[in-house]
């Protein structure tokens, strides 16, 4: 549920912060100094329940990716707070936020952000090896990575480097890398933006299979109306505020 500031405080008494995957309170983000300051987000309130799927839509330049970065702790708000699974995320230092991201979050970036010196398989294995999630030895990490790459249709590209892959293939590697460690929260920025229609449909199915079957929380930014409609809620960002449309 998206709440006004007044309703937010009332409802927060009924539910503890641990009932939410993400809780944003009075979130503000500005750039520059007065009189040239630009307010991107203004006293934004947001709740995302555990296991929920939420799409954030809006025009280009509305601040969607900025909001996603704040929720994921990749950037600091000008003011306000972000709570992640009961922890005051925005109060942590960068090292502590990085530890939370590595353990609980997966990311699909619009620009892929694959390591060019690693193969597709090595890119997908990397977050599991760094976090040692699920006691992932190199052998286990490799098996999980191979299985996840097969799910996104890249079983024949395991040993290819990013420069040897098409843009759509690189996006699928990025998606597999996010899925493989089984994060509690998955953030996706235009996850199907560089994929052809058939592959995009498969990726959409994979996104929601993960969210529904495993009880994961999915927060995505998209211009794809069809993808947004698959989420339980669609939030539109405009003039620094969110408005909500319930989806079936």
pLDDT at 35: 87
Q: What is the CATH number of the domain that holds 55?
A: 3.40.50.300
What CA dihedral angle connects 223, 226, 230 and 235, to 10 degrees?
Answer: 40
pLDDT at 17: 60
User: Whose structure tokens read 């009924």?
Assistant: 14
**DSSP assignment string, 148-189:** HHHHTT-TT-TT--GGGS-HHHHHHHHHHHHHTT--SEEEEE
**DSSP assignment string, 113-134:** ---TTS-HHHHHHHHHHHHTGG
CA–CA gap between residue 121 and residue 55 (Å, rounded):
29
What is the domain range of residue 238?
5-246
**Hey, how many other C-beta atoms are within 10 angstroms of the C-beta on 209?**
13
In 32-93, the DSSP E strands lie at 38-49, 53-57, 79-84, 87-88
**Hey, how many other C-beta atoms are within 10 angstroms of the C-beta on 60?**
7
Comparing C-alpha atoms, which of 218, 211, 216 is closest to residue 184? 216
CA–CA gap between residue 203 and residue 210 (Å, rounded):
11
pLDDT at 135: 55
pLDDT at 191: 85
Q: Average pLDDT across each block of 10 residues of the chain; the chain has 248 residues. List them in order.
A: 37 57 95 90 94 92 93 93 88 88 87 94 93 67 94 95 94 91 91 81 81 84 88 94 76
Number of domains in the chain: 1
């Amino acid at each position: 549920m998206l709440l006004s500031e007044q309703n937010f405080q009332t409802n927060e008494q009924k539910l503890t912060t641990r009932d939410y995957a993400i809780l944003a309170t009075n979130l503000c983000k500005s750039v520059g100094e007065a009189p040239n300051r630009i307010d991107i987000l203004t006293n934004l309130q947001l709740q995302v329940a555990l296991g929920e799927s939420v799409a954030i839509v809006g025009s280009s330049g509305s601040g969607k990716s900025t909001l996603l970065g704040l929720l994921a702790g990749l950037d600091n708000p000008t003011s306000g707070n972000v709570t992640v699974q009961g922890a005051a995320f925005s109060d942590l230092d960068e090292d502590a936020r990085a530890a939370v991201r590595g353990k609980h979050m997966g990311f699909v970036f619009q620009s892929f952000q694959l390591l060019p010196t690693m193969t597709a398989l090595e890119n997908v294995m990397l977050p599991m090896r760094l976090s040692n999630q699920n006691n992932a030895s190199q052998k286990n990490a490799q098996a999980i990575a191979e299985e996840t790459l097969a799910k996104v249709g890249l079983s024949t590209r395991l040993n290819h480097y990013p420069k040897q892959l098409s843009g759509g293939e690189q996006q699928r590697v990025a998606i597999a890398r996010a899925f493989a460690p089984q994060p509690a929260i998955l953030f996706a920025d235009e996850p199907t933006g560089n994929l052809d229609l058939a592959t995009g449909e498969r990726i959409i199915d994979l996104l929601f299979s993960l969210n529904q079957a495993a009880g994961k929380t999915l927060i995505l930014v998209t211009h794809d109306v069809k993808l947004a409609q698959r989420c339980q809620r669609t939030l539109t960002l405009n003039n620094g505020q969110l408005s909500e449309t319930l989806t079936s």
